[in-house]
Structure formats: C-alpha cells, structure tokens
Amino acid sequence: MKVHRLTPTHVAEYRAFMLQAYANEPEAFTATVAEREPLPLEWWLTRVSDQPDATELVFGAFVESRLVGVTGLRYKLRPRTRHKATLFGMCVLRDFTGRGIGRSLVAAVFEQALLMPELRVVQLTVTQSNIPALRLYESCGFVPFGIEPFANKISEGFVSKVHMWRSVDPDVP
C-alpha cells in the first residue's frame, strides 16, 4: 500500500470514489450524492490542485494502483485562523478496512502539516455514532473538545458530531 498526494490526473478517480463514499456511508458525511454529482469537474479539481496556493489537498492510498482510501486537508487563509486546518473526507473502501490504511492517511496529513510553519492545529468532526472513525482518530492522538447536537439531518433523523483536535507539534500533548 502506498499513500501519496493526489494531483489533477486523479480527478476522475477521486470524484468517483467520493460519490461512492457519500452513497455508501450517508451517516459519515455531510455531503450527499445529490449535492456533489452535478458539480463541474473544476470543483473537484480545486481539491486535487497541485498549485502552490491550493487551500485543499487530498491524499490517496493505493493498492496495486487502485485508489482504496482518501482524506483531505483544508487550510484557512484568514490571519487569525490560519494556524488551524481541517481534516476532511476520510474514507477507506470496506474491503480494505482494518489494515492500517486510515492511520497511514492521518500520518500523511500530519507529515504535510509539519511543512506548514504557521499551522498549529488540525481539527475534524466525526458523527458521534461512528465508532470506527472515532477510535481511529483517538488512536492517532485527536482529542474531543465538544459535541454538536443536531449537526446533520439524515433520513433516519438527526445525528450529533464530535469535534476533535490535535496539535501539529508532536511534542505538544
């Protein structure tokens, strides 16, 4: 398994992967297929842009050249918040879970975060009932700092989201 940053050449594969993820894991994601499927390819290209001013980037995990897992990192530009970034869009194909791929994707995000001198904190949100994802993030050092009730409306009702954070500096607990 190899993890590397996606580039514009991966845009179609990434789009297909995420649309499948939204369809298969509706409780895990805020985005829906209905929202994202009509978006032009340019929207997806901003996620995998390789330009130096890109504010979003995505890492992919590949097994024998097949994309089997992804996650993204989104920077903020405003002076008072650009020390924080957001980990988003984490998903590993079900047939490939339990092999350390999620953990490797988080590690790739933090390797990247260390290259950004101003970045101090990575935050994320995770649906409260999503135990595999909560355990993954806890095992990678993320700490919960609040629960947002009624965060997302899904077909069965409302779900809460746990907000988590982790320092980029490995020496800060």
Distance (Å, whole) CA 52 – CA 120:
20
User: Binding segment for ligand COA among 45-53, 101-109, 110-118, 165-173 (CB under 6 A)?
Assistant: 101-109
Write each residue from 3 to 32 as x if it is in contact with ligand COA (CB under 6 A), else as -, in one continuous string.
Answer: ----------------------x--x----
**Counting contacts by CB under 6 A, is residue 102 touching ligand COA?**
yes
Percent helix, strand and coil across the chain, each rounded to 5? 30, 35, 35
Nearer to ligand COA by C-beta: 3 or 11? 3
Shortest reach from residue 128's CB to ligand COA, in Å: 11
Residues binding ligand COA: what is the number (CB under 6 A)? 20
User: Binding segment for ligand COA among 8-16, 39-47, 123-131, 150-158 (CB under 6 A)?
Assistant: 123-131
User: Binding segment for ligand COA among 2-10, 73-81, 96-104, 152-160 (CB under 6 A)?
Assistant: 96-104
Shortest reach from residue 57's CB to ligand COA, in Å: 17
CA distances in angstroms from 149 to 47, 58, 122, 137, 142, listed in the order given = 28, 28, 21, 20, 20
Cβ proximity of 90 and 102 under 8 Å? yes
- Residue 6 corresponds to which tokens in the numbers above? 């996606």
Q: Which of 41, 46, 100, 169 binds ligand COA (CB under 6 A)?
A: 100
**Counting contacts by CB under 6 A, is residue 99 touching ligand COA?**
yes
Angle at 90 between CA 125 and CA 145, to 5 degrees: 20
**Contacts within 8 Å (CB) and 24+ apart, 160-163:** 160/127, 160/128, 161/125, 161/126, 161/127, 161/128, 162/125, 162/126, 162/127, 162/128, 162/134, 163/123, 163/124, 163/125
Binding site for ligand COA (CB under 6 A): 25, 28, 90-92, 97-103, 126, 130-133, 135-136, 139
